[in-house]
Structure formats: structure tokens, C-alpha cells
Amino acid sequence: MNLRRFAALASLMLMTSLGIAAAQSESDEIGACDLSRRRIQQRFYQRGAAEDDLTDDDLWRISVLDAQGLDSAILAEGLAQLAESPTRRSLILMRNGFIVYEQYFNGSSRSDSNNVASVSKSFLSALVGIALNEGFMLAVDDHVADYLPAYFAAAEDPRLQDLRLRHLLTMTHGLAWRENESQRLLNRSSDWVADILSLPVSSEPGALFHYSTGASHVLSAALTEATSMSTCEFAHRYLLEPLGIEAEFWGVDPKGYFTGGHSVSMTAREVARFGQLFLDEGNWQGEQLIPGWWVVASTTPQVDIGNNYAGYGYYWWLNRIGTYDMYSALGAGGQILHVIPALEFVMVTTHGFGGNPRDYSTEAESYQFLWDYLIPALAGP
């Protein structure tokens, strides 16, 4: 074989191998947002979680409890109690921007993603703040009908026309949604948004707090139409990728709207990073990912919800531990993110999730840990 033919053949082989590699790379990068090879499910609650293949060790600062002002001897008993849970999968404590405690349980590991359930509502709230800041949306008092006009054109109750983004964000939508019951009806629906908005209006929008995962899904649809991107794509482009996060799974409805506030999978570390982002008022490594004013508004009481909570912000539960204000993202089955800004403290715990309803016992357990062990550990021996 002469040199010219050899060079041509070598070049062809190189181009072919590069083409194959590129094709393989593209096929490997399907991701949670790519629907081209995925069957859209009709079930409201959906599952799917691959291992996280991102290496994020360089994004973290690691320390120990005592070095960050937490008495490890006082915390030891409380941590041992939390470790006894047969369903717990992870527990991360952060102080002053450092991971000071990180453990995985019951066969779980750092790379395992978990269905974070309604914790993802707080992510959705952050996306709305970004959309407002970027000019995709104008204001929280925008009418939802402005973004989803076809769904409101035939609304029977005129009060529905006054439904605003704020009402969805604060769960004061006024729709007669029955959490844990209405979802089952949507399993047979071909258009979730239409069926959610066709529910009777039981109160004036803005008047009463009424928790609804249906309302957050309508908000996801509005965000999609406002940005001309799926909620999943918008999230990764403007929030998750800059944070070094990749959702391993994201549910989607029969019309192609990605789920708003449920059926999202990511790792415990990724949830902790989101909590730290809020603690740092939306700034991550010098880049303002979420406008600071939105972080403040989201974690300020927007509506009185009674019970034992100090209020509800924009998809954040507000409370107090001792003399300290805190805000939390809470998901079914024991998916929990607590942030206590004055203490520079973030706590994340996840549990095995099989579509089980909101687990108030695991929430109470986490609050009790903060009361009984975290606060005393700050005071020292």
C-alpha cells in the first residue's frame, strides 16, 4: 500500500471512529429532559432513577462538626437515633458552607439519586424567580391565563380568570383539589392541566391556603409556555447545570409538560447544594443564579397556614427552632431539606420512596433532632 492510500485510509478510519464516538456520546446524553426515546407515562406519580455519574467532590468543602462550632459529643446520641430508621437513605449536615456530617443507610450510597417528591416544588419556585428576573415572566401577579390562554377560554367559573402566579406559588389557588385523591383521577387523564383547571372553584383565588400538587403542575405548564422551554430544560440551563446538578429523572404528563413539584430524582448532595444556594441568597461561587430578592420573598411568610408553622412562602414551609427562623422543603416519604440562615446550617435527609404519602413522622423526627440536639450542640458542653 502506498503512503497516499495509507494516509487516506487512516484519515477515513479516524473520521469514522470520531463519528461513532460522537454518535455514542449523543446517545449517552439522553438525560431527564430528552423525550425522544422515552414513553410518556399517564400515571401522575412516576419513577425512574439512575445512578448519578457526575463527580462533584471538587464542589464541596469538607470539615468536622467540632471545627464548625457543633459539639460532636452532644450530637452523637441524636445522630445515632436517626440512623435507626429502616427507611432512611441519607443524612447530610452542613455548617458554614462545609459538609460536617454525611452518612448513607440501608444500602444507599452517595451516587444514588432519590425521588425527592415535593422538595422539587422549592426548585420550581426558584425557576419562577429566575424567569421573572430574565424577563420571561413579568410579575407574580400575572394572570395564569396570560400564559395558558387556551385552557381558560372556556372556563365556566369567572373567578378562575383571576387566578395568578402568586396564587399557585402560595397554594391559594381556590381549586377544589383533594391531595392524595385528585392525583389518582389524573392517572386516567390525557390532559392533566385541563382537568386540574376544570375542578370547581371552592374559594376566591388568594383567599385560603389549600395544598395542591395539581396547582404546582399548572405552574410548570405556565413556565413552559412563558420560556418556550420545558421546565426540565429551563431548570438545567439556568439553575441545575451551573450548580453541577443533573436530575436523573423528571416526570412528564401526556401533553409533554414536565411535572411541577413531584417525580424528580437527584442525589442528597445535590439537594444540599440547593439548600446552600438559598442560604447564600442565590449566589453560587460568585454567580447570582437566583435573584436575591426572590430568595427573600420565597422564604418570607406570604400566607398564614395555621398548624404549627410560622407561615408559607413561595413553595417553602416556614418555621422557628428556638429563636431561629428556618425554612424547609418537604416531600412525601420523608424527603427533607431544612435551612437555618442565622446558623449557616443546612440539613438534608432522604428516605426510600414508593409513592407513599407525606410522612409527618419523619418531619417531626427531623424537627425534634434540631430542638433536642442541634441547638444544645451550639452552646457547647
Look up the CATH number of the domain holding residue 359: 3.40.710.10
Please tell me the predicted confidence (pLDDT) of residue 313. Answer: 97
Over the stretch 47-74, which tens digit does the pLDDT of each residue have?
776 666 666 777 889 999 999 999 999 9
**Residue 49 maps to a domain:** no
The helix (H) or strand (E) run that includes residue 165 is: helix 165-169
**Residue 333 maps to a domain:** yes
**Residue 9 maps to a domain:** no
Please tell me the predicted confidence (pLDDT) of residue 309. Answer: 81
Q: How far apart are CA 182 and CA 210, in angstroms?
A: 13
Please tell me the predicted confidence (pLDDT) of residue 8. Answer: 39
**Residue 89 maps to a domain:** yes
Note the pTM of the prediction, 2 decimals: 0.89
**Residue 34 maps to a domain:** no
Which positions ≥6 away from 20 have C-beta within 8 Å?
A: none
User: Across the 381 residues of the chain, what is the mean pLDDT of every consecutive 10-residue run?
Assistant: 38 38 36 81 74 71 96 97 94 97 94 93 98 98 97 88 97 94 88 95 94 97 98 97 93 94 94 97 96 98 85 96 95 95 97 72 91 90 60
Total domains present in the chain = 1
Q: How far apart are CA 344 and CA 61, in angstroms?
A: 14
**Residue 337 maps to a domain:** yes
**Residue 201 maps to a domain:** yes
Order of strands, edge to edge, in the sheet holding 311-312?
61-62, 98-104, 88-95, 345-351, 335-340, 324-331, 317-321, 311-312
Please tell me the predicted confidence (pLDDT) of residue 188. Answer: 84
Over the stretch 279-302, which tens digit does the pLDDT of each residue have?
999 999 999 999 999 999 999 999
Q: How far apart are CA 206 and CA 204, in angstroms?
A: 6
**Residue 12 maps to a domain:** no
Q: C-alpha 66: how far from its chain's center? A: 30
Residue 202, domain extent: 57-379
Question: Which of these, 228, 270, 218, 229, lies nearest to 249 by C-alpha position?
Answer: 270
